[in-house]
Structure 1
Amino acid sequence: MSVSAVLAQLMAQGQAEGADLATLRAIAEEAGELGASRALMRLGLDDSGAAKDMAELRELLGAWRDAKRSAWKAVIGWVARIGGAVLLAGLAARFGFWDWVK
């Protein structure tokens, strides 16, 4: 059973036992906000600078991903160049280029 289904069932049960639906919704909303506040506090993100910190972390993560992508492209480029050079050297040796140069 999903969380929303459990919440809906509990709210229906509370309403059946005499609680107002608006009161039950308010309780559920307050419980959600309290849980979110506790989670943010445990992560150390409950101060006023948390939004700026998260923005900086996202920017840093984006830069890291860009750098990683660029590094892989450079490695692939170098492997392709080295492979081409080895292929050309092999063709030169196969067709006697060294004899032709002498």
Structure 2
Amino acid sequence: MTDSEKPAFVENMLLLRKEDFDELLAHAAERGAERVLSHLGLENGHAARDIRELRDLLDAWRDARRTAWQTFVRVLTTGLLAALLIGAAIKLKLMGGPQ
């Protein structure tokens, strides 16, 4: 008897062929996946497209957040450099203030 012909022992003492057991597991996994998709509201056949759109939205949010931080750092750096230049100009009396 080969491995594929040997019966699999299951909890309720039934003897199943390996192919039958694999088919049962595949069917149970498919039903479980369908229940999860239904629970998430993605059961209408457009789940792949919806998940792709959600991922795109999440990527866009991450890009926007990264860009906001980069902009903040650039504005802060530019402000500090401008303040240093104005301070140096005042110290060197290049601004035309009181002599």
TM-score, normalising length: structure 1: 0.70
Higher helix share: 1
> 2:8, 2:17 within 8 Å by CA — same for their partners in 1?
no
User: C-alpha offsets along residues 54-85 of structure 1, whole Å, 9 cap, x if unaligned?
Assistant: 22222222222222222111111101101101
Structure 1: tracts of 5 or more residues without a match: 1-10
Higher strand fraction (1 or 2): 2
Find the partner of 1:84 among 64, 73, 81: 81
Relative to structure 1, the CA distance from residue 62 to residue 89 in structure 2 (aligned partners, 3 Å threshold; closer, same or farther) is: same
Query: What is the aligned-residue identity percentage?
Result: 34
Q: How many residues are paired up?
A: 91
> What does residue 9 of structure 2 align with?
13
TM superposition score normalised by structure 2: 0.72
* Distance across 2 between alignment mates of 1:17 and 1:49: 39
1:64 to 56, 61, 81: 61
Gaps of 5+ in 2: 1-6
| Alpha-carbon offset, residue 50 of structure 1 | 2.6
RMSD: 2.7
Does structure 1 residue 34 correspond to structure 2 residue 34? no
